[in-house]
A and B are shown apart, each in its own frame.
Chain A
Amino acid sequence: MRISTVSLLDRSNQISFKFDGKRLFGYAGDTLASALLANNVKLLGRSFKYHRPRGVLTAGSEEPNALVSILKHGQLTPNLRATEVEIYNNLEVFSQNRWPSIKFDILRINDFLSPFLGAGFYYKTFMWPKSFWEKLYEPIIRQAAGLGRLSPVADNSKHEKAFAFCDILVIGAGPSGIMSAMTAALSGAQVILVDEDFICGGRLNSETFKVDGKAAFEWAKINVSKLRLMPNVRVFSRTTIVGLYDGNNYAGIQKVGEYLENPNEDLPDSVFWRIVSKKCILCTGAIERPIAFRNNDRPGIMMASAVRTYLNRFGVTPGKRIIVFGNNDDARRTVFDLQAKGVKVIAYVDSRKDVEKIPKVTSFINSVVINTHGVNLLSGITIKTGDITTFLKCDCLAISGGWNPTIHLTSHLGSKPIWNEAISCFVPQPKAVPDMEIAGAANGVFSTRMAMKSGVFRAREVLKSLDIKYEHIDVPETEDENYNCEPLWHVKGSGRAWLDFQNDVTVKDLKQSVQENMISVEHMKRYTTQGMATDQGKNSNVNSIGVMSELTGREIESTGTTTFRPPFVPVSIGAMGAGGSGKRFAPTRLTTSHHFNEENNAPSVEAGLWYRPNWFPKKGETSWRQSCDREVEMVRSKVGVCDVSTLGKIDVQGPDSAALLDFVYTNKISSLKLGKIRYGLMLREDGLVMDDGTCARLGSNHFIITTTTAAAGQVMRHLEFVLQVLRPDIDAQVISVTEQWAQFSIAGPRSRDLLNETCNEEISEETISFMSTLSVSIGDISACLFRISFSGEHAYEIAVPASYGDAMIRLLVSKAKKFGGGPYGMEALNVLRIEKGFITHAEIDGRVAAKDIGMLNMISPDKTCIGKAMANRPGLISDQREQLVGIKPLNEDEVLLAGAHIYCLDEAPKRVNNQGHVTSVCYSPSLKSSIGLALVKNGQKRIGEKFKMVDHLRNSEIIVNVTSPVFFDKTGSRVRG
């Protein structure tokens, strides 16, 4: 119910939103929780396991009950905490985990079955009969399970990631955080202050005590504004630090577009900040803990400090007849604040013995609440004092079991907190995290004034460690009380008392855990699922440890804690993958002929990051095969032009450049004459093939080597490894020139004619023989011509500076057309090379040795090289290895399938009988048949034999012949023609 009082809302800005289809009103500055409570909506959802009615418990990011789904622009986002959602106009919210409606939920039946659904039931039920699991149990569980539903629509949320650097990161802008940040900022250090809330100030926004004579929230506002104006300070609100990582890396999620009704389309929903900070001051405050007692989970039961938040910050009272139950002095503040605002406080219950009654309020000292009542909402409670029980009607019960410092970030790197008996809570181990100081309530310093002092002190420590002089700063006058907490984890008695609200774990479940000898907290956690919900046990961990210590007769210290891990609050996968959706997942690399390809409607194929044209459809062609077959025939009979710029090109220079290449290639490069080109094979040190390519000698100390497109990066890394790590004695330098040169293959019987029409120089057998290079010019542009062939035809590759690439492809294609030729794409390129038995990384798959591809003789006996030693391992030269062969179907109408396996005719097509597999396939227009390359056991000795090719996935089984991998032009005469 809204009370007309001072609050932090903008009352001039009314907001209309919908909850489960019903239109409600609130104000700018309301959270969904405060607006719902203002509208007397107290039933917000159903619990996970038992489907018990639930309402708002807290006013913060630790909220375990009030999880809602929000529909926005067609997207449904589940499991958002109503206590954090900022309402905007036309916000559409739905409660979760109930069917058909929140008031009448069929799965409430689980609650009545609870004796059978206790801890460990997951491990004991649904086990038998085995067959029932897949058909019956699993589908039912899947329907009933889960918290919230995923949207069936493709996610179109936009997220961004960003980097930030600073000297000091202050986490939390409450009393200690503001003082820390101010101390640090005044010294001139680069400061980042973050707070998860949309208004900085922490508890100062919810309490009625004064700071420096002003209202607490006013003091906070003034000082945060000061900080924002300082040039060395950045203040991020709506930003949660979710994790601490090695190397002083902090992950922060900042809400940007997601809280706006109609965010600008360029605005991301959130920013995932990677903050690198020399030092950190943790000022995350503390979270109030509940008390476990029978039926302590009814809607209307809330944390006492949350009641104050709704009252003072949002002008909302969560009830008209309120009872306060606590074990500490801080809880009493709730009574005073309610009284001051004219709300009826029915009673005050304090579990401690020696405390004073509160005037004008019925006070029960040395008393506990032993039960609560109500159907969907709280209607009354039962109090026990000694032997006397009292039933009182109420519609809200404010509870406080004490405060737990929010220490989670301190344990993300493995440090465990320590128990402080005096203030009955866990605090961080001092110096637990390098470069981090902890201030205020997060360090167990609970009074506001002491928290502020602590903030100043810790900031000074940090500045000292950075060698930065600090200025003096006054700590304002404000409340400075002890809160005198006497721990009460649970009220003993019958019935279920809730510890973990979200996962529906009760004291009874912990008792069962102990009974079954799961007494370590790690075991209890997994056995009961306490602490494993999306609140990560923020509302239940300490109470559960307390209960466990009582049940097992151990001290809390020896009971121990489990480990907190990132993220502190749930983070969407979209935010974690920011910037990586759709095409942005990886950069695209485009050749200089890309636009020419697009203009000619050539579909692109991805080759690593590169886009290459697959074929160039001619008018009238209806299938890719038509285009591909035509292009193959065109290259073999006339001339074709293809962009081969994507292959790695590495420039090697230096007095020892030849020695380097002799070391990395299996064959001798040092004997290569000036102006000549040699094919080279590169092995890994373990003897398997790394890559193959060509090597051209441009000078006595100058080579250009090529790599396959796929292995360019790997080879570059390998060369640097050799030069820096293995052989720093080698005097040579390497650098990639892949991007500098646009390179085009010109292949076919008319290729020489084409080049004579293009280059200024004469292109002949004399000027450039097979496997030679020649400097040429086109117009006034210098180019490099290589006579090499991947098609088996008389062919060349010409390299021009990349800024002329576009002009070059157009020129070459227009020249080619004069000879009846044209451009060809990857499909045709692949057919041409398969027909000639040339291999690619389809064959060199990382498991293939030199002998397997018939290149054992390429390992020069006269020199050492990488891989030579291990290449001779018996296992790598064995006859039983799969060796490169050609493969052809017996029946020319049948089709080979890449990836299919080879079996002997008389053996069953099972894994144990595997003889090898098909690596590359194509339709060969030259042979008018499907052909392929394969790796077959002892293949080199089985040429001419018949086998079965079986593809189990595509249901194909045909008879094939094993052949030589060279199908076409077996003598290789065309390339020298």
Chain B
Amino acid sequence: MVDSLRKSELTVNLPIKHGDLSLSQEVTNTIFSIMPFKGKHRKIASRLKEEFNIDLPGPNLRTFKGEVSIYWVGLDQWFIINSGDVDLFHLISDDAAITDQSDGWIKMSLIDTQNKDVLARLCPVQPIVETVVRTKLAGMMSIVFFTENGAELFFMRSMIESAVNEIEIAIKSVAAQKGANG
């Protein structure tokens, strides 16, 4: 019999640093998708509030409490991150579709310039701090949460090498252009 399977590290070279700009991995323990069935939004929202003391966020928003955060990621779709030991299937699977997405997505943190110049090279959406968007980042499906000094970026595991490559090119370019603008 087999004793255990080893969890693999990402093969991309993170963190990447150029001056004040950086890209690093933020390890998430769990990610689950929650998609309520018809007429069950309020029920789900109140169950989650009871369990985690967090509200279900509206479109393009994120809510969090302690380690746990919930991101709105589409029509009737939320990701709950780091929900810990709570058995979500037991909690809400009668009223919502729950799937494990923990291995499918990789989360990274980008520290950008004040003008968000790196994001400008990658993201077709205007960066408004504290909003979540699902968009095409450098040609790839991505979930982006804009922060004061950059963004949280979620990419699918299979595309992580391409994603890191594109972001690194943008970081290097911005670093080379900083101060050279205009």
Contact = CB atoms under 8 A, between A and B. Distances in A.
Q: Do A and B come from one complex?
A: yes
Interface of A: 160-165, 228, 234-239, 256, 264, 266-268, 274, 276, 579, 584, 586-592, 595, 610, 651, 653-655, 724, 731-735, 737-741, 757-758, 760, 778-781, 800-808, 811
B33 interface: yes
A146 B6 CA distance: 63
Interface string B24-57: 0000000001011110000000000000000000
Contact of A587 (B1, B5, B76, B139): B139
B38 A731 contact: yes
Nearest to B126: A165
Interface in B74-129: 75-77, 93, 96-105, 115, 117, 120-121, 123-124, 126
B97 A654 contact: yes
Nearest to B36: A733
Contacts of B120: 162-164
A800 B97 contact: no
A811 B182 contact: no
Contacts of A274: 124
B165 to A, nearest CB: 8
A558 B177 CA distance: 50
Contacts of A738: 104
B97 A651 contact: yes
Contact of A739 (B105, B138, B176, B182): B105
A680 to B, nearest CB: 20
B61 interface: no
Contacts of B7: 803-804, 807
Given A160-B173, A739-B158, A760 B99 contact: no
A758 B182 CA distance: 62
Contact of A584 (B100, B156, B166): B166
25 contacts: A160-B121, A162-B121, A163-B120, A235-B182, A266-B176, A587-B138, A587-B140, A588-B161, A589-B156, A589-B159, A592-B157, A653-B98, A654-B37, A731-B38, A733-B97, A735-B97, A739-B103, A779-B5, A781-B4, A801-B100, A801-B103, A804-B5, A804-B7, A804-B8, A808-B5
A913 B16 CA distance: 62
B182 A228 contact: yes
Given A162-B117, A651-B97, 10 more contacts: A266-B175, A587-B159, A587-B162, A588-B159, A588-B161, A591-B158, A732-B37, A735-B77, A739-B158, A807-B8
Most-contacted residue by chain B among A266, A595, A760 (CB, 10 A)? A266
A735 B1 CA distance: 34
A806 B5 CA distance: 9
A654 B36 CA distance: 9
Most buried by A among B5, B33, B77, B102: B5
Interface centre among A160, A237, A733 (most CB of B within 10 A): A733
B93 to A, nearest CB: 8
A610 B157 CA distance: 12
A579 B100 contact: no
B124 A163 contact: yes
Given A237-B182, A735-B33, A595 B103 contact: no
A733 B76 contact: yes
A651 B121 contact: no
Contacts of A579: 138, 166
Nearest to A237: B182
Contacts of B4: 779-781
A2 B67 CA distance: 70
B35 to A, nearest CB: 4
B100 A740 contact: yes
Given A733-B76, A735-B97, A655 B37 contact: yes
B104 A760 contact: no
A735 B158 contact: no
B10 to A, nearest CB: 9
A806 B10 CA distance: 10
Contacts of A256: 177, 180
Contacts of B38: 731
A197 to B, nearest CB: 11
B57 to A, nearest CB: 18
A218 B140 CA distance: 47
A266 B104 contact: no
A733 B5 CA distance: 32
Contact of B163 (A164, A587, A740, A757): A587
Given A163-B124, A779-B2, A740 B8 contact: no
B172 interface: yes
B126 A276 contact: yes
* Dominant SS among interface residues on chain A: mixed
Nearest to B128: A165
B126 A740 contact: no
B3 interface: yes
A778 B124 CA distance: 43
Contact of B104 (A235, A610, A655, A737): A737
A757 B104 CA distance: 27
A808 B6 CA distance: 8
A829 B50 CA distance: 51
Contact of B157 (A228, A651, A739, A811): A739
The 7 closest A-B pairs by CB, nearest first: A739-B104, A653-B97, A779-B4, A733-B35, A733-B97, A266-B172, A802-B103
Nearest to B114: A231
A807 B182 contact: no
Nearest to A720: B75
Interface centre among B101, B161, B182 (most CB of A within 10 A): B182
B156 A739 contact: yes
Contacts of B139: 586-587
Contacts of B123: 163
Given A588-B161, A735-B77, A803-B7, A267 B103 contact: no
A587 B156 CA distance: 11
Contacts of B177: 256, 267
Nearest to B123: A163
A724 B77 CA distance: 14
Contacts of A801: 100, 102-103
Contact of A806 (B8, B158, B170): B8
Nearest to A801: B103
A67 to B, nearest CB: 27
Contacts of A758: 2
Contacts of A234: 115, 181-182
A629 to B, nearest CB: 30
B157 A778 contact: no
Contacts of A590: 158, 161
A834 B97 CA distance: 38
A729 to B, nearest CB: 9
A236 B140 CA distance: 29
Contacts of B33: 735
B26 to A, nearest CB: 15
Nearest to B115: A234
A450 B35 CA distance: 61
Which of A724, A735, A804 gathers the greatest number of chain B CB atoms within 10 Å? A735
Contacts of B101: 737, 739-740
B130 to A, nearest CB: 17
Given A654-B37, A801-B103, A264 B156 contact: no
A268 B5 contact: no
B172 A803 contact: no
Given A163-B124, A735-B33, A781-B5, A588 B97 contact: no
A724 B175 CA distance: 45
Contacts of B161: 588, 590
Nearest to A231: B114
Contacts of B97: 651, 653-654, 732-735
Contacts of B35: 653, 733, 735
A811 B5 contact: yes
Contacts of A740: 99-104
Nearest to B162: A587
Contacts of B99: 651, 653, 735, 737, 740
A279 to B, nearest CB: 15
A554 to B, nearest CB: 46
